[in-house]
Amino acid sequence: MGDTAICIQGLGKRYRLGTVTKAYDTLRDTITEVISRMGKGSAQKSVDKSRYIWALRDLDLSIKQGEVLGIIGRNGAGKSTLLKILSRITSPTKGRVEIKGRVGTLLEVGTGFHPELTGRENIFLNGAILGMTRADIRKKFDEIVAFAEVEKFLDTPIKRYSSGMYVRLAFSVAAHLDPEILIVDEVLAVGDIAFQKKCLGKMGDVASSGRTVLFVSHNIGAITKLCKTALLLDKGSLVISGNTDNVVEQYLKQTEISVAEVSRNVKPESRVGFERIWVTNSKGETSPEIEVNSHFTINILLNVQKKVLNVDISVLIESIRGTKVCFTSLSDLNGGDILPLEPGRRHCKIQIPGRFLIPDTYRLLVEAHVPMVMKEDYCTDLSIAIVDTKATQTYTSDAWQYGCVIGNFKWDMETFSPDSK
């Protein structure tokens, strides 16, 4: 009777690059490929290696029963691949995993929801997909409905639901899943802040009830709050595991590399997405390092694919230590009311003044969202370093200890005389 819930040995997963970048092959591609390979003979084999990528390599890990483990790492570190292997969605290329106990997976909220079906029908369908039995769902049905606050709309097709109701219902079903081992991906990222709080609360309940939880998140605050232990992945390999504080510290060191430009593909189905986000300094050059005294600009190349009335674009500046500094959004342009966006590409520029942020590394969280309801697109990859190149003595290397922003206030000093007011 060992108390190990999950034992991972030498786990590796290799992807073919083609399958990652291309949506799918056509028969013609394969035929031409096979023919060209035949022509070149076996020499091709060595070249082929470069077309593979190890998303996860040689991972050894043992997770105790009741352990709440946070998994962190930058994009492409292999976090999601690990979760997908553990939940049997994809199979490993190498290694072995032993799992004791029923596994519940939550990689996405509302998996399998069908817009044409009613709330009631979707609860049963989604519950069955998540692995609940019909008896289980029936027993928890009232609880699920009450938690989601959708009593009145149970027999309405969910395509008529507001986005908020949809997300609430989806999360509610998932929250009532009762597995021994819970695997959760960044599902919290889909909702607004109130929703995220509700999720975190529920996650906390699950964690404290003695179940084994594996939790992936970019939200370092959530990880430190929920998990006693954590592991850090980078480029598919384990960097460090153990006490959450140590792991987080390591992660922060690693992420202190600034990224001034992010280009991405907008998904064809999304209404609004970011094509490119980049930071320019006061001279207009793209740069991740900004002089503390000069202003800089956050540029967002927005692709509106469908007309939207309720989507706002916002930027949250957060220090690498997790302190939120400030928030600004496109609706500020319009006195707080959201501007309707017509289809087309737009360039948004947000100018941040000099002598505002204290020298430190900051993350820029850019979001296109329906406020308090859902995210259309978001990007958490951008980070900049505010540096003090002139070495003004006020801002030492640990300037962050003095707050987040520079107290740019007017000081006066004059000789005090008892007569003056």
Nearer to another protein, 114 or 347 (CB): 114
Q: Identify residues 242-301 at the interface with another protein (CB under 8 A).
A: none
Minimum distance from residue 381 beta carbon to another protein (Å): 22
Minimum distance from residue 211 beta carbon to another protein (Å): 11
Stretch that binds another protein, among 23-31, 263-271, 298-306, 358-366 (CB under 8 A): 23-31
Q: How far apart are CA 98 and CA 275, in angstroms?
A: 41
Q: How far apart are CA 382 and CA 419, in angstroms?
A: 56
Tokens representing residue 311 in the block? 């989507």
Q: Does residue number 177 form part of the binding site for another protein (CB under 8 A)?
A: no
Beta strands at 103-106 and 324-329: parallel, antiparallel or unpaired: unpaired
Nearer to another protein, 87 or 217 (CB): 87
CB atoms within 10 A of CB 151: 10
Stretch that binds another protein, among 34-42, 107-115, 200-208, 286-294 (CB under 8 A): 107-115
Can you tell me which of 42, 46, 50, 91 binds another protein, judged by CB under 8 A?
91
Stretch that binds another protein, among 103-111, 144-152, 261-269, 373-381 (CB under 8 A): 103-111
Q: Does residue number 325 form part of the binding site for another protein (CB under 8 A)?
A: no
Nearer to another protein, 318 or 376 (CB): 376
Can you tell me which of 78, 92, 354, 359 binds another protein, judged by CB under 8 A?
92
Sign of CA dihedral 110, 111, 116, 118: negative
Can you tell me which of 40, 45, 51, 88 binds another protein, judged by CB under 8 A?
88
Nearer to another protein, 26 or 393 (CB): 26
Tokens representing residue 408 in the block? 């740019």
Q: How many CA atoms lie within 13 A of 146 on its CB side?
A: 5
Nearer to another protein, 91 or 415 (CB): 91
Range 309-343 burial, b when 16+ CB lie within 10 A, else e: eebbbbbbbbbbeeeebeeebbbeeeeeebeebee
Q: Does residue number 124 form part of the binding site for another protein (CB under 8 A)?
A: yes
Minimum distance from residue 106 beta carbon to another protein (Å): 9
Nearest CA among 304, 406, 419, 407 for reference residue 360? 406
Range 252-275 burial, b when 16+ CB lie within 10 A, else e: eebbeebbbebeeebeeeebbbbb
> Residue 276 belongs to what H/E stretch?
strand 272-280
Can you tell me which of 45, 51, 96, 390 binds another protein, judged by CB under 8 A?
96
Burial (CB count within 10 angstroms: exposed 0-12, middle 13-18, buried 19+), residue 236:
buried
Binding site for another protein (CB under 8 A): 15, 19, 24-27, 30, 84-103, 105, 107-108, 111-112, 114, 116-117, 121, 124-125, 128-131, 133-134, 157, 180
